[in-house]
Structure 1
Amino acid sequence: MTTVLLVEDSLTETEVLTQYLRQAGLTVVSVKSGEEAHIKLQLQKPDLVILDVILPGQSGFELCRELKANANTQKIPVVICSTKGSKADKLWGSMLGADAYIPKPVNQQELMQTIQQLTTV
Structure 2
Amino acid sequence: MTTVLVVEDSLTDMKLMTYYLQQAGLAVVSANSGEEAQEKLHSHKPNLIILDVVLPGQSGFELCREIKTDPHTSEIPVVICSTKDTDVDKMWANMLGADAYLPKPVEETELLRTIRQLIK
| Common fold: TM-score over 0.5 | yes
Aligned to 1:28: 28
For the residue of structure 2 that corresponds to 1:101, the secondary structure is strand
Paired AA for residue 102 in structure 2: I
Aligned to 2:79: 79
1:43 Cα offset (Å): 1.0
Paired AA for residue 2 in structure 2: T
Alpha-carbon distance in structure 2 between the residues aligned to 1:111 and 1:41: 21
Alpha-carbon distance in structure 2 between the residues aligned to 1:41 and 1:105: 25
Aligned to 2:96: 96
1:44 Cα offset (Å): 1.7
Number of residue-to-residue matches in the alignment: 120
1:5 Cα offset (Å): 0.3
Paired AA for residue 103 in structure 2: P
For the residue of structure 2 that corresponds to 1:72, the secondary structure is coil
Q: Which runs of 4+ in 1 moved over 2 A?
A: none
Q: TM-score, normalized by length of structure 2? A: 0.99
Q: TM-score, normalized by length of structure 1? A: 0.98
Unaligned runs of 5+ in 1: none
**CA deviation string 1:63-86 (max 9, x = no partner):** 000000000000000000000011
Aligned to 2:63: 63
Identity percentage of aligned residues: 65
CA RMSD of aligned residues (A): 0.5
Alpha-carbon distance in structure 2 between the residues aligned to 1:42 and 1:87: 32
Aligned to 2:52: 52
For the residue of structure 1 that corresponds to 2:76, the secondary structure is coil
Q: Are residues 1:13 and 2:44 paired?
A: no
